[in-house]
Structure 1
Amino acid sequence: MTDNLKEMMEKARAAQKIVEFWPQDKVDEMILAVGWECYKRETAEKAARMAVDETGLGVYEDKVVKHMKKTLGVVRDLQGVKTVGVIEDDPKLGLKKIAKPVGVIGAITPMTNSSSTMPCNGLPILKTRNAVIFAPHPKAKNTCEFICNEMRKGLKKVGAPEDLVQNIKEPSMEASQDLMGMVDLVLATGGAGVVKVAYSSGKPAYGVGAGNATIIVDESANLEETAVKIHKGKVFDNATSCSAENNVIIHESIFDALLAGLKGQGGYLVTGEDRAKLKQAMWPDGSHLSGKIVCKSVKVIAAEAGISVPDGTTFLMVLGEHIGPEDMFSAEKLSPVVTLWKYQDFDKAVQMVIEITAFSGYGHSCGIHSTNEAHIMELATKAKVSRMMVRQSQSYGNSGDWVNGMPFTMTLGCGTWGGNITSENVTWKHFLNVTWVSYPIPAVIPDPEVLFAEHFKKYGK
């Protein structure tokens, strides 16, 4: 625990006390002010440039789009949401629910999505009248500082205490750990290491799991549209998103046609000796991704692997050989590289999704390109994932998109499968305490003869 963090906590608690009983309209005014400062194109462009320059990850143009879209989506999702006073009233049950803030939240943010994560976390935290202290990845501290200052501008504009938003200026794992031990709730968006620390902090925590989005394409899919969507989801921001397509399982009757479609989108199939070279470059020790290829361009990855790819290549493809550690191409790749698999029977495809995600990305997500509702529901019923996209780009859809109903966020819970407490997209409702107020109602006592009637009929008393 450092004196600096103690001071930050004191400021945060004082600021949070000021807004604790603010009315809804004043809270909403604050959200619009902070949201606008984050959303503005000049903010997004500067943040994107800083993020690419200091982390070396992703694509500037894509980061601008991502920052603006996610910020606007979060503001839209928060509009009209009641987070003050009575948020639910059920006269029949005599119940009222009163929304109350958590207090001070420590938000650990990653280097992969260093600018867009902050408004996605910060706006719902403010909407619920909490204060937030951001602890960024050390390689993303300048981007964090910039966005925090923009958020504070919005707070100041409407007379809200600026210390509702603060950030650690010289981040480290030690500083993050100290912060976690001081706040009321931890929100950890990042790698497995920081999530594990969050869950060991002794404080309530929301964490995320690793991604490894695995997609089925069946015979009913529109192959032209599917190729476009897979390409978009795979290459966006050099696959900085944990939701990017990692494995595509294709019915054998359409495999060649879809492969041709993916090649038409800039995909290049890496085979033979080059596949082995690519694997060695990506997992030099056989199990851990190399930082030299994570979220890098195809050009950088090919050079690192010592392989040649045609001009115009936008992503690399390999054929899956085995599921599990003997073939790491079945794991999350965090790069514009996708693994293609072939299946004959749909139940086998579902089983492959189960096995691949159990090995890597347990609980995160899967998808399907199909118009066969029976296939869609079979995968949805059997796959152990928290979200499943139907006929969508995975990395666009998982965390909220204009063309689906998923809540906008950058923090994706993976359920108990992924070692998380929630399987939802983390948003405003996760930053509230709720008091249940119970009034007396006329007694509702069941008749055991009626309640157990079906059991008695079949098995007797």
Structure 2
Amino acid sequence: MAQAANLNMVEDDSAAAEVAELVARSRAAQAQIEDYTQEQVDKLITAMVWAVAKPGVAEKIAQFTVDETQLGNYDGKYLKIFRKTRATLYDIIDDKSVGIIEEDPVRNIVKIAKPVGVIGALAPTTNPEATPVIKAISAVKGRNSIIVAPHPRAKLTNKMIVDLMREAIVKMGAPADLVISIDTPSLEKTNELMKQCDRILATGGGAMVTAAYSSGTPALGVGAGNAVVTVDETADLDDAAEKIRISKTLDLAASCSSDNSVILVDAIHDEMLAKLQAKGGYILDNDAKAKLQAAIWVDGHINAKVVAQTPKFIADYAGFDVPEGTQFFIVPESGFGPDHPFSGEKMTVTMALYRAKDIDDAIRLTNGIQAYQGQGHSCGIYSNSDANIMKLANATKTSRVMVNQPQAASNSGNLWNGMRQTFSLGCGSWGGNSTNNNITWRDLINETWVSKPLAQPKVLPADDVLFASVIDELK
């Protein structure tokens, strides 16, 4: 016991020393760009994206990521590294992040952007290709440096991407250490990074996010995903079926934004279910459902062996047959909570299917499902009724409601909507987070507020005006 404790102490000391050296390098690099102009900053982040997303390189990264992680598929990885990184750059490139970034003439206040310093970033194994890029350009956009701690299963992918960005940074005349990778990651090093950096940007499992919040360093964490999508009686069913297929199968459901549950209202239930089947959805009977449940969850935890795998692989592993052309599983469900595990996040091409009487019943189901898992993250609706859309938005505890859009490809921003581009989705107090934001560079800066006297000072109104709405009732 004593030997083991001593060994742990040695490992912790070694990790602390290694991370301290990385942080010192990172801090020195950040100091060199602290006074960069907006033009210099924007050229840097443009070069960083081009280095990893240009034709020929993006394809190599996509294939390398699949080969190393054995998660998802080439098409999904390629979309993220080639398209998502471009879209994120395009989304932020014209933002003013240096000097005065906001003026409020009514309150006579101006806001000045200032860097935080060293950002410590956690990158998950499910999105290891674009996450380091998006976090890095968000950090540098605010004139910060960044150290990326990858999941061990994606460490080589992370190193490849970070090295490409470092080469581009040097060619732009800036220090390579603006972006540093922890090349041999460990839990001890990740914990040390969170203690020693200036702000944590945590994307990953719940344990890591909790550790980030407990580190003593200001942290931006994300909540658990478990997207619930409703299709009402006014929806374009063909459009909804295709977009649900896109979302459910994107990168083999590696994203926490994949449609985990779909609710069909009575009026269109049978017709819509047939359209989902036509898109490659396979309805599981009770026997296959039981086998799939045993395959996905082991001792109450999601089985890593089936995460982001093909339907055939999962079916073979679970011990049931699926017809050729199956793209995702449809599991009929009615309840939610621990006794109904399919109501939770599945990280596989598995969709729980619910039937609702109407929009009010769909809201009840959405809230019940997300009270179990995923509250605060996101939900969606396919509808042409503004009344139904706003009813669901007002009645659910969610940070994002995606309307007539493929959830997994939309809630983190896409070219067809106005959401800020990111892979870090704050879930508010519902998900245990400090923000509901799609987290971007604006969350990675400090702001100095400069307040000047108003041209005309405000004057308090008389009591009979200020308290007019209650004064008679309180007599």
TM-score interval, smaller chain: over 0.9
Match of 1:102 among 94, 97, 116: 116
Residue 338 (structure 1) shift: 0.3
Aligned residues: 459
State yes or no: 1:374 paired with 2:387.
Answer: yes
Residue 460 (structure 1) shift: 5.6
User: Gaps (5+ residues) in structure 1?
Assistant: none
Identity %: 45
Tell me the residue number matched to 1:9: 23
Residue 304 (structure 1) shift: 1.0
Residue 321 (structure 1) shift: 3.1
Match of 2:469 among 451, 454, 460: 454
Tell me the residue number matched to 2:413: 400
**Within 1, Cα distance between the matches of 2:107 and 2:269?**
55
State yes or no: 1:201 paired with 2:223.
Answer: no
Match of 2:58 among 44, 47, 52: 44
Tell me the residue number matched to 1:444: 458
Residue 455 (structure 1) shift: 2.6
State yes or no: 1:214 paired with 2:225.
Answer: no
Cα RMSD between the aligned structures? 1.2
**Within 2, Cα distance between the matches of 1:10 and 1:249?**
51
**Within 2, Cα distance between the matches of 1:312 and 1:91?**
60
C-alpha offsets along residues 400-431 of structure 1, whole Å, 9 cap, x if unaligned? 11111111111111111111111111101000
C-alpha offsets along residues 76-126 of structure 1, whole Å, 9 cap, x if unaligned? 111211111111223332211110000000001000000111111111110
Residue 245 (structure 1) shift: 0.4
TM-score when normalising by structure 2: 0.95
State yes or no: 1:344 paired with 2:357.
Answer: yes
Tell me the residue number matched to 2:38: 24
State yes or no: 1:191 paired with 2:212.
Answer: no
Q: Contact 2:359–2:392 (CA<8 Å) still a contact in 1?
A: no
Equivalent runs, 1:2-401 vs 2, <5 Å: 2-285=16-299, 287-401=300-414
User: Gaps (5+ residues) in structure 2?
Assistant: 1-14
Q: Contact 2:232–2:358 (CA<8 Å) still a contact in 1?
A: no
C-alpha offsets along residues 226-278 of structure 1, whole Å, 9 cap, x if unaligned? 11010010011000111000101101121111111011111100012111111
State yes or no: 1:413 paired with 2:438.
Answer: no
C-alpha offsets along residues 146-192 of structure 1, whole Å, 9 cap, x if unaligned? 11011112211110111100010110111000111100001111010
Residue 316 (structure 1) shift: 0.7
SS at match of 1:363: coil
SS at match of 2:248: helix
Which shifted more, 29-38 or 183-192? 29-38
Tell me the residue number matched to 2:3: none
SS at match of 2:320: coil
SS at match of 2:45: helix
**Within 2, Cα distance between the matches of 1:402 and 1:378?**
26
